[in-house]
Structure 1
Amino acid sequence: MQSPSGPSLPHTRARTVHWISTAAALGAVVAAAALVQPADASPTAAARPPAHPAAAPDPHAVAYPLTCAPGAAVDVIAHVSGDLDGDGRPETVAVVRCHSDVGTPPSGVYVIAASAAAGGAPRIVEMLVNPKEDREITDFRLQGRTVRATVLGFSSDSTPRCCPDLRRDYSWEWRDGRYVAIPAPAANSI
């Protein structure tokens, strides 16, 4: 008997077994394509993580340009490490000041990089806060690749050194081949 739409043909009705065998064949083709890769498809050196990640420079192994009292040591108050400039090698940023048993000497903030020579001492590559500016540093931290700190200062020479009365938040970022200081809006005196 002929259907109104034309003659009946064998295998025109899809059965479950047909769908399963079609899906299996399609899956085999996709799996084979995923396993077969061109010869030049190996990971490049840039995509591979380094075999031994570089250690961050030791902030205690640096000679800081501070003018301390004779015999006074340099104290590393705080430090953070990370790849700040995106070159794949970590830098260390350190807050340092001359040691004092009384009072709070001004602090300096320095960026330290590993030596270019194998086994060489780390070196200062940038000064973010000059200790000659008579500043104190608090709330020092690293967020991503941005260094952040609160910088405290004095409104006049008559302000007691125990009690800074100026406060401003700063961040430092690597931009266009250098570290850029980004001050937050000036706060009222504290």
Structure 2
Amino acid sequence: MQSPAGPEPHPHTRPRPVHWLATAAALAGVITGVVLLGPGDATATAPATAAPDARAVRYPVHCGLARAEVVRAVAGDLDGDGRAETAAVVRCPAGAGTPPSGVYVLAPPAAPGAAPRIVATLVDPGQKMNVTGLTVTERTLSATLLGYSAAAVPRCCPDLRRAVKWHWREGKFALTPLPVATRA
């Protein structure tokens, strides 16, 4: 289609920056409304406070000169005290292979402006496992642990798999006995 010669018949129909700003504001309002009013996860409970930031913690993971990376973080009121905790899967960065993971539970900082506190280590990287699928449902943490049956198994390809769950019981996280590890 060719443009008509001469002046535009309707100059008000040409988009200007103010039109784009109004469109962006309207879209932001719709997205905010969906997030605030939309259906929540039926299996999770809303924590009463903001969850600790998993990236604001120095983990006891030795990565040489690199800093440990947070692979996954989930939040919920895990101990039933009305405050949100965060569970984080952490490992050393790697260009190849799969470095072992650690799983840590974080509580809010003891003082304003301080870093969150590590209150539990559920999987130590020294156990040489990889952790996938970390989720929280009500007061239960679930994950899949991947491991190696022998030192000869390549670190890229774990051959053992075990689903695990931790529940807060009597002041600590208790591992729920699940079926024995199987071949991956």
For normalisation by structure 2, the TM-score amounts to 0.72
Give, in angstroms, the shift of residue 55 of structure 1: 1.0
Q: Distance in 2 between matches of 1:152 and 1:146?
A: 19
Q: Distance in 2 between matches of 1:187 and 1:118?
A: 42
Partner of 1:65: 60
| 1:97-116 equivalences in 2 (<5 Å) | 97-116=91-110
Quote the RMSD (CA, aligned, Å): 1.1
**SS of alignment partner, residue 132 of structure 1:** helix
C-alpha contact (below 8 Å) 2:102/2:125 kept by paired residues: yes
**SS of alignment partner, residue 69 of structure 1:** coil
Partner of 1:56: 51
Give, in angstroms, the shift of residue 145 of structure 1: 1.1
Structure 1 unaligned spans of 5+: 1-52
Q: Does 1:128 align with 2:161?
A: no
Structure showing greater Rg:
1
For normalisation by structure 1, the TM-score amounts to 0.70
Runs of 4+ in 1 over 3 A off after TM superposition: none
Q: Which has the higher contact order (CA 8 A, sep 6+)?
A: 2
Percentage of identical aligned residues: 53
Q: Distance in 2 between matches of 1:146 and 1:188?
A: 22
C-alpha contact (below 8 Å) 2:110/2:117 kept by paired residues: no
Structure 2 unaligned spans of 5+: 1-47
**Matched positions, count:** 137
CA-to-aligned-CA distance 1:150-179 (integer Å, 9 cap, x gap): 000001111111110111000011001100
**SS of alignment partner, residue 182 of structure 2:** coil
Partner of 2:134: 140
Q: Distance in 2 between matches of 1:149 and 1:140?
A: 4
CA separation of 1:187/1:121 partners in 2, compared to 1, >3 Å: closer, same or farther?
closer
Give, in angstroms, the shift of residue 75 of structure 1: 1.2
C-alpha contact (below 8 Å) 2:85/2:106 kept by paired residues: yes
Give, in angstroms, the shift of residue 69 of structure 1: 2.4
Q: Distance in 1 between matches of 2:139 and 2:150?
A: 34
Partner of 2:166: 172
